[in-house]
Amino acid sequence: MKKRKLGATLEVSAIGLGCMGMSYGLGPAGEKSDMIKVIRAAVEQGITFFDTAEVYGPYTNEELVGEALEPFKGQVVIATKFGFNIEDGKMNGVNSRPENIRRVAEASLKRLRVDVLDLFYQHRVDPNVPIEDVAGTVKDLIQEGKVRHFGLSEAGAQTIRRAHAVQPVTALQSEYSMWTRQHETIIFPTIEELGIGLVAFSPLGKGFLAGKIDEHTKFAEGDIRNRLPRYTEEARIANKALLDLLHQFAASKNATPAQIALAWVLAQKPWIVPIPGTTKLHRLIENNAAAAIELTAAELQEIETASAHIKVMGTRYTEAMEKSTGL
């Protein structure tokens, strides 16, 4: 597996593994023993970067990742997140007050079975807490040896700049894929200027860009896609145009649509690391093979020209979820 660098010093595998769906958000949680096998298989395949958060479950995903990766302590990078209230086992609004950040850090250290948190993200910006206070708290945790790197998720350009001025930001985690590209105009130039890496979540569009979801697909109870505008039956029919494009290029490269979608993300900037999630070993192998696919400048331009004529139907979240979701 090739390596990439986030920020100035954090080296990780070019593709990471998003672990959320193993416990939360995309239907019933996977069988724990099976999920541990998938995570450990990822390590065997060269994956060194794993993503979780306290709110995934809540708590159960960190516990899963901690148990699975305990034998590889010091060999892998685990990213986790703070920034929500959790009440009665459910997420209830944002909370990045310094005392909550510290509480989450201590709890995450225990659940992940580590001595230091490799990458600690603010999961969502808290409008009630100045970002300088957030960055300052994480800076203190870094100085205390409890955290190595500071990250932000889904933050705007000015928030990133303000945070970075207090404590250098290693990575911004935000949604990015062939059908979610809103960050290219303002966020990309900002983080490139500041030397911040992008960790791209949902690089396969929560499974749609892998080509296995159509208008007949039924999502399980508890699957977030049941509530997302982009995954209505009407939208899935309309958005087949993008899948057709992926299938076309997949055929020409002897690859799968998922591999082309991931290779496209990797080709955009050398400081982007996608973190596709899966609960299946064969999908893990398929996704990881994308790191070896090279799209030429001509192929990238051809994709760009063709995709410019495709209008994606449906927003990625509802308006209310944009403000509150932990996904």
Residue stretches of the chain with pLDDT short of 50 = 326-327
Annotated catalytic residue within 56, 121, 231, 317: 56
Q: What is the pLDDT of residue 326?
A: 47
* Residue given tokens 């979820």 in the structure block: 321
Instruction: Reply yes or no on whether 56 is catalytic.
Output: yes
Q: What is the pLDDT of residue 321?
A: 79
- pLDDT digit string (tens) for 7-49? 999 999 999 999 999 999 998 999 999 999 999 999 999 999 9
CATH T-level fold of 3-205+268-293? TIM Barrel (3.20.20)
Q: What is the pLDDT of residue 112?
A: 98
Q: What is the pLDDT of residue 327?
A: 45
The residue extents of the domains of the chain are 3-205+268-293
Q: What is the pLDDT of residue 55?
A: 97
Contact call for residues 19 and 53 (beta carbons, < 8 A): no
Q: What is the pLDDT of residue 323?
A: 66
